[in-house]
C-alpha cells in the first residue's frame, strides 16, 4: 500500500515503483485528511487533482485506487482518535498541535480497511514515519513499514505536493533548505559531531528564511543526543513565500 493525499508527483511514482518491487499487487489511497490540518486555510489551499492522480495511477499500473470521501472515512458520530506519544511531541507536534493525532487516526483506519502486508512511505516526512512505526509496533499490526529515500528535483529541493505553490523567487530562496542539509553532511564527513556546531552550520545556510525549527537530534527518539559519536538526524521546517516546507538528512 502507498497512502497518499493526492497531488501525485514523481516522488509518489517512486513509492509506487518501490511497492511494486515488494508486493504482487499495489493499492494507492488518495485522501486529503482534514484531521491532520490545524489550519483550515492550509486545508483549503492544499492542491488536489483527482483526474490527474488517476491518470498517473493508470500509467504506473496500480492495481487498485481507494479514494474515499470525508463522509465515508468520518461518518456522522465518528468519535475516535488515535494518539501516539513520545516521538510525536516535538517539532511538527509542537508547531502543529493535533497533527499527529490526525495522522495516526487516518493511518490506523487505512490499514484496517486495506490490510496491506507492507506500507511504503517517503523519508522526507521523517517524524511522520517515526510516529507510524511506533503506532504499528505498539498495536501489534502485522504490517511492515518500508521507507523510501527522499526524491529531489534537479535543483535539490525535496519533492512535495506543496511545491507547486512556490513562485520562482520563493523557490530560489527555498533552495537554502537542501543547501543547509548538504552543509551538515559535509561538516559531519569532516569530523564535526557536536549537535550545537551542526545546528549553527545549518542556521547559517538557512539565512533569513522564516525558520520554525532547525535541529540535530537522535534519529530514534527525536530527543537530544547523549553521545556525539551517535548518529543524528537534521530536521528543518521553514516557511518560504507562504509555503511551509520540511526536509531532513540522517548523519552517520
Asked whether residue 43 is domain-assigned, the answer is: yes
Are 72 and 125 within one domain?
yes
pLDDT of 21 reads 98
User: Who contacts 135 (Cβ-Cβ below 8 Å, separation ≥6)?
Assistant: 82, 84, 104, 107, 108, 141
Asked whether residue 155 is domain-assigned, the answer is: no
Write the DSSP symbol of residue 163.
G
Are 32 and 133 within one domain?
yes
Confidence (pTM): 0.95
Are 101 and 132 within one domain?
yes
* Domain endpoint, select from 122, 148, 174: 148
Confidence of residue 33 (pLDDT cuts 50, 70, 90): very high
What are the b/e assignments for 82-97, b being 16+ CB within 10 Å? Answer: bebeebbebbbbeebe
Does the pLDDT of residue 196 top 90, yes or no? yes
d(C-alpha 97, C-alpha 64), whole Å: 33
The rounded mean pLDDT for the chain is: 97
Confidence of residue 222 (pLDDT cuts 50, 70, 90): very high
Are 131 and 219 within one domain?
no
Overall average pLDDT of the 14-39 stretch:
97
Model confidence pLDDT, tens digit, residues 155-168: 999 999 999 999 99
Are 144 and 173 within one domain?
no
Are 40 and 121 within one domain?
yes
Model confidence pLDDT, tens digit, residues 75-118: 999 999 999 999 999 999 999 999 999 999 999 999 999 999 99
pLDDT of 40 reads 84
* Domain endpoint, select from 148, 183, 208: 148
Are 176 and 128 within one domain?
no
CATH assignment at residue 181: 3.30.1300.10
Confidence of residue 39 (pLDDT cuts 50, 70, 90): confident
Are 140 and 227 within one domain?
no
CATH assignment at residue 99: 3.40.50.620
Query: Would you name the residues annotated as active-site residues?
Result: 12
pLDDT of 131 reads 98
pLDDT of 204 reads 98
Are 43 and 126 within one domain?
yes
pLDDT of 41 reads 83
d(C-alpha 31, C-alpha 74), whole Å: 12
Are 8 and 111 within one domain?
yes
Q: Is 227 helix (H, G, I), strand (E, B) or coil?
A: coil
d(C-alpha 122, C-alpha 10), whole Å: 12
Q: How many domains does the chain have?
A: 2
Q: Which structural domain range is residue 197 located in?
A: 166-251
Are 125 and 206 within one domain?
no
Are 121 and 178 within one domain?
no
Overall average pLDDT of the 118-126 stretch:
98
Amino acid at each position: 500500500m502507498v497512502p497518499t493525499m493526492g497531488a501525485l508527483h514523481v516522488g509518489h511514482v517512486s513509492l509506487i515503483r518501490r511497492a511494486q518491487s515488494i508486493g504482487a499487487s499495489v493499492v494507492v489511497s488518495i485522501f486529503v485528511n482534514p484531521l491532520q490540518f490545524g489550519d483550515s486555510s492550509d486545508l483549503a489551499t492544499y492542491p488536489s487533482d483527482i483526474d490527474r492522480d488517476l491518470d498517473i495511477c493508470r500509467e504506473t499500473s496500480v492495481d487498485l485506487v481507494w479514494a474515499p470521501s470525508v463522509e465515508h472515512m468520518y461518518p456522522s458520530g465518528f468519535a475516535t482518535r488515535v494518539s501516539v506519544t513520545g516521538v510525536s511531541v516535538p517539532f511538527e507536534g509542537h508547531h502543529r498541535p493535533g497533527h499527529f493525532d490526525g495522522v495516526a487516526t487516518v493511518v490506523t483506519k487505512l490499514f484496517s480497511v486495506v490490510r496491506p502486508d507492507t506500507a511504503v512511505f517517503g523519508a522526507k516526512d521523517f517524524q511522520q514515519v517515526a510516529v507510524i512505526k511506533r503506532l504499528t509496533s505498539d498495536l501489534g499490526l502485522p504490517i511492515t513499514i518500508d521507507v523510501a529515500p527522499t526524491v529531489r528535483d534537479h535543483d535539490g529541493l525535496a519533492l512535495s505536493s506543496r511545491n507547486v505553490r512556490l513562485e520562482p523567487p520563493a523557490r530560489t530562496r527555498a533552495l537554502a533548505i537542501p543547501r543547509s542539509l548538504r552543509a551538515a553532511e559535509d561538516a559531519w564527513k569532516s569530523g564535526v559531531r557536536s549537535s550545537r556546531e551542526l545546528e549553527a552550520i545549518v542556521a547559517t545556510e538557512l539565512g533569513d528564511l522564516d525558520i520554525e525549527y532547525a535541529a540535530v537530534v537522535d534519529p530514534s527518539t527525536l530527543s537530544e543526543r547523549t553521545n556525539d559519536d551517535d548518529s543524528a538526524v537534521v530536521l528543518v521546517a521553514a516557511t518560504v513565500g507562504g509555503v511551509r516546507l520540511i526536509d531532513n538528512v540522517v548523519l552517520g
